Structure 1
Amino acid sequence: MKLLLQIFTWWNEQTIGTRFHTWRHGQRVGQDELGNVYYQGGKDSEGRTRRWVIYNGYAEASAIPAGWHGWMHHRTDVSPADEKYTPREWQKAHRVNPTGTANAYRPQGSIAATGKRPRVTGDYDAWTPGS
């Protein structure tokens, strides 16, 4: 069943193409606290070492912690697995992306929000054709 999911869906862990590329070129670099596994190998179109992640569960880009995000985007050559990475005091802990859930941000006046939209004040002039 897991193989069928990987063949027909791209959002479940890894696709067959990613599995093949990982088998052929991948060198495991490390794993984060969420269970995502990071690899590198081969070259990208700019000549840099290609880096990728195989997610633990659904492919959700916001599920990459800050230290690994920097490594994935070539901001550093040292992975968090190779150094004693500690987040800075201003870095927040990971939160799951709430888009599409009841916890999603809904600004005042949104159809999905409660309450009413604030009344327009005199600081706005609507555009009219020919003006």
Structure 2
Amino acid sequence: MKLFLLRIFTWWSGFTLGTQLWTWRFGELVGTDEAGNRYFRTKGGKVDPTLGFERRWVLYNGYAEATRIPPAWHAWMHHIDDVPPTAETYQPREWEKPHQPNLTGTPYAYRPSGSTLASGRRPKATGDYQPWTPGS
């Protein structure tokens, strides 16, 4: 019962019951990425008359976070590429880093020097700050 209620009311922890039914009825699996996200489009690549192009969507493996989509799939999702990455032999360039989702809010987030979270203590002020006072 708990899983059923989660499927109805929570979209952030996976796909909802409505999305599952829509995907089953109108969707066609195009492929999956290395994170386990599954990518769909309308059956047969049919053009949606209200949009003027085919619908494309993703069912996330776990938490729904848009930055978990790799660059090649992002290009396909936003109609920049017409060919999905599974249908072509995509080879990343030697200067491309592997995809990494947004780490903000996690223990692995970037913390610049001077941040209270970086080392636990903020460094002493250097004296280059002059506070504003009214009339000056």
- C-alpha distance in structure 1 between counterparts of 2:105 and 2:66, whole Å: 15
Give the corresponding residue for 1:80: 85
- C-alpha distance in structure 2 between counterparts of 1:83 and 1:91, whole Å: 18
Q: TM-score, normalised by structure 1?
A: 0.79
The answer to whether the 8 Å contact 1:40/1:52 transfers is yes
Q: Describe how 1:93-104 pairs up with structure 2 within 5 A.
A: 93-104=98-109
Instruction: Describe the shift of the 1:108–1:40 C-alpha distance in structure 2 as closer, same or farther (beyond 3 A).
Output: same
Q: TM-score, normalised by structure 2?
A: 0.77
- C-alpha distance in structure 1 between counterparts of 2:49 and 2:3, whole Å: 29
Identity %: 53
Stretches of structure 1 lacking an aligned partner (at least 5 in a row): none
- Alignment deviations for residues 17-47 of structure 1 (CA, whole Å, 9 cap, x no partner): 2112212221111111221110012638642
Stretches of structure 2 lacking an aligned partner (at least 5 in a row): none
Q: How many residues align?
A: 130
3-state DSSP of counterpart to 2:85: coil
3-state DSSP of counterpart to 1:49: coil
Write the letter of the residue equivalent to 2:39: Y
- C-alpha distance in structure 1 between counterparts of 2:124 and 2:94, whole Å: 37
Write the letter of the residue equivalent to 1:110: S
4+ aligned runs moved over 6 Å, structure 1: none
